[in-house]
Amino acid sequence: MLLEMALGEQDLLKIQSAFPDLRTELRGGKVIVMSPSGFVSERVVTSLCSRLNTWVEGRSLGHVVGSSGGFVLPNGDIVGPDVAYVSRERLPVAPRSFARVVPDLATEVMSPSDRISDVQEKLAMLRGQGVRTVALVDPDEHTVAIDSEGDAPRVLGDAEFIEFHAVLPGWSMAVSDLWPKDLSA
């Protein structure tokens, strides 16, 4: 007999307490354990997160967080996008625990261990839960795919600029600026 049990927020917190070095999410009642993302992927996350955070904080627009800043979604899932933004109107005070709000922007950066179908499924779920803009960054292909309310989905290359008009009008960054520079010279 196979017995399946849906897990909840308290279960996730217990698992995180027991295994603090693991990055976990709760999706569909199941705990998802994610491996480290790899150096280049994390470098891309850091670059995007720092640029967004500097711009957002300078204008007191809201909060930018990395993958450890969890969000409790309306469907009960608890996720930590690689980079997320939530406006201060939707989250005026940063909570000590998970934010019980849908982020305005969720970005995932492909890592060597990721399967594209899994990442696309997560981003589609996030859009379905009300995230206004999702982005998928692929360091291997040097592309950024953006799906934003009010716009047709688009894929950007190195010669183009990332813009999140629906959630952060006025912010932009060259796609080429995401990638680590060779420091050996």
Question: Please, what are the domains in the chain?
Answer: 21-178 (3.90.1570.10)
Per-residue pLDDT of the chain (185 residues; tens, 9 = 90+): 554 557 666 666 666 666 666 676 667 777 676 666 789 999 999 999 999 999 999 999 999 999 888 999 999 998 999 999 999 999 999 999 899 999 999 999 999 888 999 999 999 999 999 999 999 999 999 999 999 998 999 999 999 999 999 999 999 999 999 999 875 55
Which residues, at least 6 apart from 75, have a Cβ–Cβ distance to it below 8 Å? Answer: 129
Residue 113: count other Cβ atoms within 10 Å of its Cβ.
Answer: 11
pLDDT attached to residue 3: 46
pLDDT attached to residue 109: 96
pLDDT attached to residue 26: 65
Residue with tokens 């933004």: 85
Global pTM reads: 0.86
Distances (CA, A) of 39 to 62, 98, 102: 28, 26, 28
pLDDT attached to residue 162: 98
Total number of residues shown for the chain: 185
Q: What does the alpha-carbon distance between residue 70 and residue 98 come to, in Å, rounded to a whole number?
A: 5
Distances (CA, A) of 158 to 137, 141, 174: 12, 10, 7
User: SS3 for the chain, per residue?
Assistant: CCCCCCCCHHHHHHHHHHCCCCEEEEECCEEEEECCCCHHHHHHHHHHHHHHHHHHHHCCCEEEEECCCCEECCCCCEECCCEEEEECCCCCCCCCCCECCCCCEEEEECCCCCCHHHHHHHHHHHHHCCCCEEEEEECCCCEEEEEECCCCCEEECCCCEEECCCCCCCCEEEHHHHCCCCCCC
